[in-house]
A = this chain, B = another copy of it.
Amino acid sequence: MVWPALEKLLFDAVATESPSLKQLLAHVLSGGKGLRPTLVRICAQFGPYDPAEVNRVAAAIELVHLASLIHDDILDGATVRRHRPALHSLYGPIPAVLTGDYLFATAFGLLAQSPRAVLNIVTATIRTMCEGEIEQRSVPALTEQAYLSHIGKKTASLISAACRCGGVLCHLKRSGQEGLARFGWYLGLAYQMVDDLLDLLGQSEELGKPCRQDLSQGIITLPILRFLELIPQSDWWREKISRGLTPEEMEEIIVTARSLDCCQYARERAREQINFAFSALESLPACPAREELAWLASQVLAKIEELDYSGPAQEGAEQKEVAGSEATV
């Protein structure tokens, strides 16, 4: 989904004389679905815009996203990303932390030429993302509200910011910018909920990264939260999750969670968010850009429906649909 002008801009923006850094950047910039820059581009089409400016902001937001992925992968100890080795697992954590910092600085260099409102939105968003990551790792979610707050800060905030920046760049009035930001927020929540479900239910070959990373790190996502709400020994399990699960315990949780329809419950909540996103669109003028946003939301909805909630028993039957779903949006 990354268009040629954006790709060129990304490569030009990060250009460096340092041979070591060049190698690191080449690894980082390849691949990627480009959801966030696409949202900037579509949301800028609600009014007149300067394409060069839109590309700059789209590139900056993608760089912020890539920087945060690099740092998160180090923190998660994740070794694979997008079917390829994570940067830090190839080159070590030192160049990876620094490459992330370099991308942040490059993003702000691009934004130096943009309206101050855009710069303010992006800096506030990065702060929010960091807060969310720190909270999620220091205080595991005890309630659905806490879970929504974590994924809101960690994921929905940047997707929402991408939409709002698009609105700023096409000089949409404040209420329109708010509508776009709301759309992005709910889309982002649903997007992360699907990601969390995939982490729990998917197979690593399909995801392009190992599955069940959240649970093994003690991060409690919605289906597990539901499981903890429904079972009688929830404190005992909570303790076990925070101390680190054995593979057998992890399997037991997943089998029980499936039998209690915890994943279907999470699906319902994700559908709700998509419906909120559709509602947010209604406040915006009908136009091709609005149609495009609705289509994007429907793609996330399709991913929600495609997941294999029924478990390994029916695995053969639905497996094919799940495969490749990660690549859709």
Contact = CB atoms under 8 A, between A and B. Distances in A.
Contacts of A116: 112-113
Contacts of A123: 105-106, 108-109, 112
B134 A24 contact: yes
Interface residues of A, number: 44
A214 to B, nearest CB: 14
A85 interface: no
Interface string A8-23: 0000000011101100
A226 B129 CA distance: 46
A138 B98 CA distance: 12
A104 B106 contact: no
A74 interface: yes
A131 B102 contact: yes
A191 to B, nearest CB: 21
Given A108-B119, A108-B123, A124-B109, A131 B97 contact: no
B93 A130 contact: no
Interface in A54-106: 67-68, 71, 74-75, 93-95, 97-102, 104-106
One complex includes copies of this chain to the number of 2
A18 B119 contact: no
Contacts of A112: 116, 119-120, 123
A13 B210 CA distance: 38
A65 to B, nearest CB: 13
A86 to B, nearest CB: 14
A87 to B, nearest CB: 12
Contacts of A98: 71, 75, 130, 133-134
Interface string A111-143: 111001001101110110011011101110000
Q: By CB atoms of chain B within 10 A, which of A20, A24, A99, A120 has the most? A: A20
Interface of A: 16-18, 20-21, 24, 67-68, 71, 74-75, 93-95, 97-102, 104-106, 108-109, 111-113, 116, 119-120, 122-124, 126-127, 130-131, 133-135, 137-139
